[in-house]
Amino acid sequence: MDFPWPNIGTALADVLTPMPVIDETRLAANIARAQTYLNGHGKAFRPHIKTHKIPAVARQQTDAGAIGINCQKVTEAEVFADAGFDDILITYNILGAARVARLKALNARVAKLRVVADNPVTVDGLAKAFGTGKPLCVLVECDTGAGRCGVQSPDAAVALARQIADASGLTFGGLLTYPAVGGAAAVETFLQDTMGKLAALGIDCPMRSNGGSPDLFSAHLVPSATEHRAGTYVYNDRSMVRAGECGPDDIAMHVLATVVSRPTETRAVLDAGSKALTSDLLGFADHGEIAGLPGARITGLSEEHAVVDLTGCSGPLPAVGAQVQIIPNHTCVVSNLFDHMVFHRDGIVTRVEPVAARGTVW
Amino acid sequence: MDFPWPNIGTALADVLTPMPVIDETRLAANIARAQTYLNGHGKAFRPHIKTHKIPAVARQQTDAGAIGINCQKVTEAEVFADAGFDDILITYNILGAARVARLKALNARVAKLRVVADNPVTVDGLAKAFGTGKPLCVLVECDTGAGRCGVQSPDAAVALARQIADASGLTFGGLLTYPAVGGAAAVETFLQDTMGKLAALGIDCPMRSNGGSPDLFSAHLVPSATEHRAGTYVYNDRSMVRAGECGPDDIAMHVLATVVSRPTETRAVLDAGSKALTSDLLGFADHGEIAGLPGARITGLSEEHAVVDLTGCSGPLPAVGAQVQIIPNHTCVVSNLFDHMVFHRDGIVTRVEPVAARGTVW
């Protein structure tokens, strides 16, 4: 397949659809706004690269003052290590000899690499591989209400911290949580309790990492956290507007699409399906919003089609061939579908970046 | 990123997760079963390559007797033309000068290339570009109840057929529908009505293409159709079992995953999230089934995690580090997330195929 991405200087109206595009002005403003807020509260910022998966965008984030980056998988971190990032936190239980061996190779070449664990099996596997060479820094992941990974109590966190501290090839780095939205009080209580118990045992707990874009601008409500992690804030999306974390004018990603069919007066079909948007609903009843077309509802997606119900629209309706801009429900998952990402300023393409860490699930 | 796919001869237990894997025996049986059924009813078969996106698998399908292939987009068809396929139907309204120019280049090198249109704007665009050179064969897409693309009535189909037949660079190829599930009677009525009206005008209608895996084994209920198109049948998935089109033992794709956390007695977390499964629900309330673990429910997905509720399980529960096999809700969308696909026979890797048409949305 030839390269379908546009040249620099192309107008968005001439870009082959479906194509996600990033507004440079809004991107820069989102990066600055988050960093300024966290600087103002004396908290370190560690952006999660899952949203963009692009080293050049991560460099914009660290240039603005972020102390390092957050990855989810070893292969994802390898991409950013290759690009020169030297402070990487992998927020995942890394299991299996093959994967841990790759982690060990990564640890040898990244100045500050940290991982998390929430169970003794993970810590055992790491301890076996890291008996020799540069020690690995491991944080304990805590479940403060989100109901995903994490130890369930401060006592369990302390027990795991002791296991890490006692392993010769590991160092205990601190505590980490990916909290429930609005869970600041629960996070602070969990961290304080655990820090108290660790202090009583003489175990140092240097890093307390809190996270999530929906809670980014309430990071100051968790004084015990030393840093905050967030991904989605960099592009923003429909879910972030709903969460009140940004306004519609802060959304940097749109998915350009073309009306390919108007079978009835009230139905339009777009060329952006689940291969362009994914089917992530994030609690919405439909699959994204169409900018400038209030009342239109994307009621269904198949792989290459979006079906739009125009019943609720007033005013002129888009004809076959018209280009529209979709505000996706969830921006991070869109980035994972495209090999390159198109950036623009005022509707003129400024650069096309490889999405270098697309597809890194290992 | 180094190549994380396994070598031939690797046991599935040693494959890095998350990883979709295809059972060669079931794949071959699915291909044979569909072809035998359609042969028995004297109907041509045109598999949709969206499910696998792999030329080698499409070759298995044509070797078994399929007359050609079905693609959705021009760039997808280019991949299969490069691999030597010479009978390709693109079931899409192809719009815009840049895309139509690529289509024209493709038409010049593929012996039998056909596209569809459901509106005059699409036909106009094709007619402008195809005034010279090899004519393009265009079918009229009909909406027989699925509510996606397609003209709404036999009269509208006839009007569009006349527009195509009257354009000097186009030839009218026939009718196409992607029907509602169980819509055989509506398809047959629409086709018969339209064919009658076309015959009265002296317009030949050589191909009548019906489609869908959920209706594959009722293709004989539409006698006016000359061919059937289907994609999902080749791998099958949870949605096909629910539709009664296959049994659990006909599912050729599983997604291997590892238990990375057991935060509570009743919660497991797997390393297969929406980047491995997508969040396609297809009407299910959860995100796939875990083979051999009845009662387990994948209640939530984030990009790299699946949260499993084990409350309904009896018997031994999987520990941290255990490998499980997920039956995905929807197999086609999983194929679009991976650059390579792993095949196995009796649990031993037989080949690793590039998913050559992954990401071709244009």
* Overall average pLDDT of the A264-282 stretch: 97
- Considering only the beta carbons, identify the residue of B121, B272, B319 that sits closest to A321: B121
pLDDT at residue B312 is higher than 70: yes
**Tokens read off for B247:** 């049994």
Domain membership of residue A155 (yes or no) is: yes
- Give the CA-trace dihedral at B41, B43, B46, B51, to 10 degrees: -30
**A193 assigned to some structural domain:** yes
Q: Are B158 and B194 in contact (CB under 8 A)?
A: yes
Q: What is the pLDDT of residues B20-37, one digit of tens each?
A: 999 999 999 999 999 999
Average pLDDT over residues A99-109: 97
Q: Is residue B93 part of a domain?
A: yes
Q: Which residues of A touch B122 (CB under 8 A)?
A: 260, 320
The residue from A235, A261, A283 where one domain ends is: A235
Average pLDDT estimate for B201-208: 98
pLDDT in tens, B39-52: 999 999 999 999 99
How far does A188 lie from chain B, in Å, by closest CA?
20
Average pLDDT of B248-257?
A: 98
Q: Which amino acid is at A36?
A: T
Please determine, for residue A264, whether its predicted confidence score (pLDDT) is greater than 60: yes
Tell me the residue range of the domain where A79 lies.
41-235
Predicted confidence band of residue B336 (pLDDT cuts 50, 70, 90)? very high
The minimal CB distance from B304 to the residues A121, A279, A361 is found for: A361
* Pairing of the two strands B306-309 and B267-270: antiparallel
B1: pLDDT confidence band, cut at 50, 70 and 90? Answer: very low
A278 assigned to some structural domain: yes
Task: Tell me whether residue A79 is in a domain.
Answer: yes
Average pLDDT over residues A111-133: 97
User: Nearest-CA residue of chain A relative to B6?
Assistant: A98
Please determine, for residue A1, whether its predicted confidence score (pLDDT) is greater than 70: no
Which tens digits make up the pLDDT trace of A279-317? 999 999 999 999 999 999 999 999 999 999 999 999 899
* Complex ipTM > 0.85: yes
**Residue B26 falls inside a structural domain:** no
Q: Does any domain span residue A195?
A: yes
Residues B201 and B346 in one domain: no
User: CATH no. for residue B334?
Assistant: 2.40.37.20
The DSSP 8-state label assigned to residue B170 in this structure reads E
Q: Please state the length of chain B.
A: 362
- Quickly state the pLDDT bin for A120 (edges 50, 70, 90): very high
B149 and A261 in contact by Cβ < 8 A? Answer: yes
> Is A175:A145 a contact under the CB 8 Å cutoff?
no
Tokens of A82: 């290759």
Q: Are both A285 and A227 inside the same structural domain? A: no
Q: Is the dihedral of CA A275, A277, A283, A286 positive or negative?
A: negative
Quick one: B68 and B195 in the same domain?
Answer: yes
For residue A320, list chain B residues with Cβ-Cβ distance below 8 A.
93, 95, 119, 121-122
pLDDT-based confidence at residue B3 (cuts at 50, 70, 90) = low
Range A46-50 average pLDDT = 98
B227 and B288 housed in the same domain? no
> Do both B74 and B222 map to the same domain?
yes
The C-alpha atoms of residue A272 and residue A268 are separated, in whole angstroms, by 12
Q: What is the mean pLDDT of residues A202-207?
A: 98
**Contact state of A320 with B119 under an 8 Å Cβ cutoff:** yes
Closest CA to B177 of B206, B202, B199, B208: B208
Give the tens place of pLDDT for each residue, B96-139: 999 999 999 999 999 999 999 999 999 999 999 998 899 999 99
- How much is the pLDDT for A2? 59
